[in-house]
Amino acid sequence: MSEKQLPLWYEKGLSFKCTGCGGCCSKEPGYVWLSETDIEIARAHLKLSRSDYLKKYTRQVNGRISLIELPNYDCIFLKENRCSIYGARPKQCRQFPFWKSNISSPEAWEEAALTCEGINHKDAPLLSPKEIHDWQES
């Protein structure tokens, strides 16, 4: 017998519009985990060899590769509060703020809103669960 699917808590959608404030790329310590695809896209964008890209912009953390974070917690690609490789940014960045952890509960979403001013912004469109899913897959 198949289990009945529970309705999503955000069935009516979630409001989000990026204001470009840069908050998700700075202010707090964190990791931006890179896949091989992320590395290849950014490396090609910057016209660097894989090894030069890894040396200049990334760090090893417990066997995984993350972008370097500056001492003030800014992402190494944050320039004048903007992502300097926006079109070639990693998947983890593209998926924000719709990370599974952020949409796991209303409380988690409100917590994410404390650092992302685009969440529940007054001018933000209401994104449907399908749009949120497509965003996560982008």
Q: Which helix (H) or strand (E) holds 82?
A: strand 82-83
Q: What are phi and psi of 24, to 5 degrees?
A: -80, -10
**CA–CA distances in Å: residue 100 to residues 46, 96, 119, 136:** 30, 10, 15, 9
What gap in Å lies between CA 136 and CA 138, rounded to an integer? 6
Q: Minimum distance between the CB of residue 55 and ligand SF4, rounded to whole angstroms? A: 27
What mask of x and - would describe binding to ligand SF4 in positions 39 to 78, judged by CB under 6 A?
----------------------------------------
Is 96 an interacting residue with respect to ligand SF4 (CB under 6 A)? yes
Is 18 an interacting residue with respect to ligand SF4 (CB under 6 A)? yes
CA angle, 95 then 97 then 101, to 5°: 95
When binding is defined by CB under 6 A, the residue of 65, 85, 89, 118 that contacts ligand SF4 is 118
Stretch that binds ligand SF4, among 30-38, 57-65, 100-108, 113-121 (CB under 6 A): 113-121
Residues making contact with ligand SF4 (CB under 6 A) = 18-24, 96-97, 116-118
